[in-house]
Structure 1
């Protein structure tokens, strides 16, 4: 039925339905023998992020249940993060090398090979066995599936979603200012998290005005993707900065870091432009506008 609220259902019923669907899909992906284990880890982490965004949308109305469920889905995703981080660095370097000419690209074949070997070794280790990690995730998700139908909201209609929607938007506005003020990779990563949650909220609320919402959602998703690529490059840069000779010699390391930093500069320029548009509206004005959308959406149902 899709990751969105339904007009003919109460917010509480919609939230329960979306939660149940996402959990069921995550369990199905874990159980799918045809799905590569790296891909399964990636998919389950994405489901957990969507579930965290879901409960954040109704955060004030969900009360104490919010803290419990947010922690549960956060922990499931976090336990799978080690494998995903190593895969992300491999993908980041692959994307970066694809922008270079063949001769330049070959200079970094050794770095790429080493990153792939480390990823595979981690996946093969007892502590990071993907099957064991996914089995643990499945156990937590099965328990969550039993409890999702008990979620209770103490607010209705737009009041049930406005608090979480506005809180996430406000945090995004603050995060972009902090990121460009400090220039720190950690601050850009925090901004990305806020943008990801906002993107998911726009998906959940897209039936209010699909044509407008989908355009806004795509801009938000593009920004999240840009910031995600910046984060992966930042992790790779930090790994190179550690000076590990097994990964790269000094000359190769410095050359690659220079290319990474140039790419990050480009990405952050793009992020700034989209961010200025996405976060332009003041929160109070945003709330009033979306409340009008909500009422128009409800009236058109009658």
Structure 2
């Protein structure tokens, strides 16, 4: 099947189906992580974000359930985050070397990269620790599967459309707030909040592909590009914080002034790019978008329901 709500099926059935499919993929990646933790855990975390985005979308129809299950999958994602952060630091150094080759050489990024690779090898879960973490995550996924059978959402076309519109509206408002804070204060956490909202909105575009009131593909492509840029900026913020706090793997590193200078240049470019892109994508008022979504969703869900009840043709 697909990560997309089919208007021909009741909303409860569709949400359960999509959630079960995402849990299947998450479990497969967690199992694969026993042999290749870096790549497999990264993929598992991406699927966990998809699952949480689904819960955010339908939360207006089952507030307590979605809040509790969102917390479950957030905690799983945090438990497997260690190796991914170590890899993100290495990827950040590689981007800086590509974008600013002369400055990167002066900053000694080659030596810093080797240090980061050693750090990743040392801090990635040991065999026993990784196995225990994966077993716990898989156990929680099993509990989540069982919990899904208790989920009940409004299934009438009108009520289901309202749930989807309100869920999408919440994320659009969150993105607007994140943009305003990033523009006005510009703190790392402001851009991080914007990034999370953008990622969730991107997942909602996929889920609502058949119901979104405007062409989805071009908007999704732009959202993905913004998400990538915000991710790169987030990695810069994380590395800068580690350097300033003298935390591993930078606690015993030599003078980092040259590295900080390169990072500052990259940060300036990324800040401007992210703000410009976000302003363009979220310039329309969220409530106006939600009204159009609700209207199209009602029509689409009602039409699908009517088609499902129609008598099959006898050919006479």
TM-score by length of 2: 0.87
- 1:125 CA displacement: 4.1
**2:94 paired residue number:** 94
Match of 2:223 among 220, 225, 236: 220
Query: Which segments of 5 or more consecutive residues in structure 2 lack a partner in the other structure?
Result: 308-316
**1:191 paired residue number:** 194
Distance 1:10 1:154, change over 3 A: closer
Distance 1:223 1:242, change over 3 A: same
Distance 1:21 1:210, change over 3 A: farther
- 1:111 CA displacement: 1.0
- 1:145 CA displacement: 1.5
> Secondary structure of the equivalent of 1:153?
coil
**2:182 paired residue number:** 179
**2:139 paired residue number:** 139
**1:291 paired residue number:** 294
> Secondary structure of the equivalent of 1:183?
coil
- 1:118 CA displacement: 1.0
Distance 1:175 1:14, change over 3 A: same
- 1:173 CA displacement: 0.2
Count of aligned residue pairs for this structure pair: 299
Deviations 1:114-141 (A, max 9, x none): 11111110115478x3333222111111
Is the aligned partner of 1:200 residue 2:203?
Answer: yes
- 1:15-94 to 2 correspondence within 5 Å? 15-32=15-32, 36-94=36-94
**1:229 paired residue number:** 232
Q: How far apart, CA to CA, are the structure 2 residues paired with 1:270 and 1:249?
A: 31
CA contact (8 A) 2:83 2:124 kept: yes
- 1:235-246 to 2 correspondence within 5 Å? 235-243=238-246
Q: How far apart, CA to CA, are the structure 2 residues paired with 1:144 and 1:23?
A: 8
Q: How far apart, CA to CA, are the structure 2 residues paired with 1:292 and 1:103?
A: 53
Q: How far apart, CA to CA, are the structure 2 residues paired with 1:141 and 1:124?
A: 20
Deviations 1:27-59 (A, max 9, x none): 112223796211121111111111111110011
- 1:20 CA displacement: 0.4
CA contact (8 A) 2:96 2:104 kept: no
Distance 1:169 1:124, change over 3 A: closer
CA contact (8 A) 1:29 1:35 kept: no
- 1:294 CA displacement: 1.7
Is the aligned partner of 1:120 residue 2:121?
Answer: yes
CA contact (8 A) 1:60 1:163 kept: yes
Query: Which is worse superposed, 41-50 or 202-211?
Result: 202-211
- 1:103-114 to 2 correspondence within 5 Å? 104-105=104-105, 107-114=108-115
* Aligned residues: CA RMSD: 2.2
- 1:192 CA displacement: 0.5
- 1:275 CA displacement: 0.6
> Secondary structure of the equivalent of 2:6?
coil
Query: Which is worse superposed, 99-108 or 83-92?
Result: 99-108
Is the aligned partner of 1:249 residue 2:249?
Answer: no
Distance 1:197 1:100, change over 3 A: same
Query: Which segments of 5 or more consecutive residues in structure 1 lack a partner in the other structure?
Result: none
Distance 1:277 1:74, change over 3 A: same
> Secondary structure of the equivalent of 1:83?
helix
> Secondary structure of the equivalent of 1:207?
coil
Is the aligned partner of 1:280 residue 2:283?
Answer: yes
- 1:296 CA displacement: 4.3
